[in-house]
Amino acid sequence: MIYYPNTKILYFASRSTGSRSINTFFKKIDGNDAVAYNNTLDIPTEATNTENKLVVSVSNPYIRIYDKWKQRNEWLTKVNRANEIVTFAESVKIDKTGPLNVISEDLNTKNLTPDIIIRLEYIKSDIKLIPGVDLEKNKTHRWSYATHIATDGVVRRYSEWKSNYTQELADIIYTKFEKDFTAYNYSKDSWK
């Protein structure tokens, strides 16, 4: 978790949810006074202060797996993609320290309920839900948004992931991430 004291944001970051861009955005609007905790699931004392907002970034698990696979396998040809992604998805270790985690399970383990959920697919609008973010009047917020949120790499890759999915691959990922599909209202058929 990362705590941004000036904006009173406690950010729970997860891989392949736009977290690097969101973290950079928060640092810019907070004034770089962020306090990072080594263990993502350590609960800092700031979490008990009701003035602070717990912000969580999520994305469709189908996108998360595709993004992780793509980061590791840019060189593969499209012909081999479906089979290669299935192999990758089957081998992905799901845990708090692995390449991907089940976000809702991690939060439930620590009895944490997010105040704000930033969904990767709607990052451009969801970031505006953060208290104190003013893209209209605040030049720093607007610049940081344009530089770090609107150009996020995972967002750019979002448009291509569906063409690489098969029912077999979708079933594997749904089984591993069913709790996140349910918790964040992602449809089992959202890969179609």
DSSP-assigned states of every residue in 28-58? HHHTS--EE-SSTT---GGGG-TTSEEEEEE
Distance CA 9, CA 46 (A): 9
Percent of the residues in the chain that have a pLDDT greater than 70, as a whole number: 73
Write the CA distances from 172 to 66, 90, 127, 166, integer angstroms.
13, 7, 31, 10
Where are any strands of DSSP class E within 65-143? 116-119
pLDDT for 184: 92
- Of the two residues 91 and 121, the one the predictor is more confident about is 121
Mean pLDDT of the chain: 77
Both tokens assigned to 176: 């591993």
Which helix (H) or strand (E) is 10 found in, with range?
Answer: strand 9-12
pTM for the structure as a whole: 0.78
59 neighbors 119 (Cβ within 8 angstroms):
yes
The pLDDT of 22-42, averaged and rounded, is 73
Residue 77 pLDDT greater than 50, yes or no? no
